[in-house]
Amino acid sequence: MEEAVLRKCMQEGRSSLNEIEAHDLLNDWGIPTAPGGLARDEMEARELARELGFPVVMKVLSPQIQHKAAAGGVRLDLRSEQDIAEAFVQITDSTRRTVPEATIQGVFVQRQVDSGLEIILGAMHDDHFGPVVTFGLGGQYVEILRDAVFRLAPVSEKECCAMVEDTLVRDVLSSWSDDYEKDCRFLQRIISGLSTRFCEHEMLQEVEVNPVVVWPGTGTGVAVDALVVLRSPGSGA
């Protein structure tokens, strides 16, 4: 199934998966994602929001738009059907002005995630080293603290543990959590899952999941945003 989706995207000349495809891929890899769905019009957006429960987030869905916020394609903390209606118009109008060549497939309506510890998780093909996996504090802290570590992929269970221990995630999580070991095992699982499955697909150039929201003490969390970039034709294996 994963291979078919990736090949279809490449045949269509796309450089990346859309957000729904990216979330499906992560779920297949054992990385849970915040629930959501595609709305092609305002009515579908209202229905999805009611099903998911308020508040929700809305994001533009377009194969030409990777960085949605920069294109004006994201609205947060929507708490009513009126908010949904206004956000749908704002998103579609803004993205058409910013990226006029983009094909707007609709919007991704997603349940807004309660606050927790935000981490970044990713993998990419490096020209010199091959597959590399990264992990660290995510969300707004990515550019501020630059707290990330890198390992050649796939990583062992021991290496996953070391990646957590070598970042500020350990200090923050252990101070917030009533069960640090449970949370650490969750992080090890998703790091391992991403690094292993990424290496199985030569068509993938980069996967960035930011943020993954971890709820301290629960041993659980969900991915909120994901970017999956495909390798260009003719790139090395």
Pair (46, 108) in one structural domain: yes
Q: Which residue has the tokens 């992929």?
A: 153
pLDDT at 157: 85
Residues 41 and 69 placed together within one structural domain of the fold: yes
Are 196 and 216 part of one and the same domain? Answer: yes
Cα-Cα-Cα-Cα dihedral sign, residues 189, 190, 191, 195 = positive
For residues 99-124, average pLDDT: 95
197 assigned to some structural domain: yes
Domain count, the chain: 2
For residues 106 and 140, state if they share a domain: no
Domain span including residue 100: 35-112
217, pLDDT greater than 80: yes
Question: How sure is the predictor about 146, in pLDDT bands with cuts at 50, 70 and 90?
Answer: confident
Residue 97's CB: how many other CB atoms inside 10 A? 10
Among the three residues 112, 145, 160, which one is the final residue of a domain in this structure? 112
Per-residue pLDDT at 237 exceeds 60: no
What percent of the chain clears pLDDT 90, i.e. is strictly above it? 83
Residues 40 and 88 in one domain: yes
Domain ends where: 112, 129, 159? Answer: 112
Q: H/E element holding 207? A: strand 204-215
Q: Decide which of 63, 90, 112 is a domain's last residue.
A: 112
Segment 9-24, tens digit of pLDDT: 888 888 999 999 999 9
| H-state helical runs in the chain | 2-11, 19-28, 42-52, 81-98, 141-145, 157-165, 168-176, 180-199
Is it the case that residue 236 has pLDDT exceeding 60? no
Same domain (yes/no): 219, 122: yes
Query: Is position 124 within any domain?
Result: yes
Q: Say what the pLDDT of residue 234 is.
A: 54
Same domain? 71 vs 171 = no
What CATH number is attached to the domain comprising 54? 3.30.1490.20
Specify whether 88 is located in the same domain as 137.
Answer: no
- 88 located within any domain: yes
Both 104 and 128 in one domain: the answer is no
Judge whether 63 lies within some domain. Answer: yes
Residue 3 domain flag: no
Inside any domain, residue 16: no
pLDDT, tens digit, 9 for 90 and up, residues 156-170: 988 999 999 999 999
Same domain membership, residue 146 and residue 85: no
User: What is the distance between the alpha carbons of residues 23 and 95, in angstroms, rounded to a whole number?
Assistant: 22
- Please indicate, yes or no, if residue 182 is contained in any of the structural domains: yes
In a domain, 186, yes or no: yes
Which residues, 6 or more positions from 5, have their beta carbon under 8 angstroms from its beta carbon? 17, 21, 24, 25
What mean pLDDT comes out for the span 207-230?
96
My answer on whether 161 and 178 are in the same domain is: yes
Contact between residue 223 and residue 34 where contact means Cβ atoms under 8 Å apart? yes
Q: Are residues 73 and 88 in the same domain?
A: yes
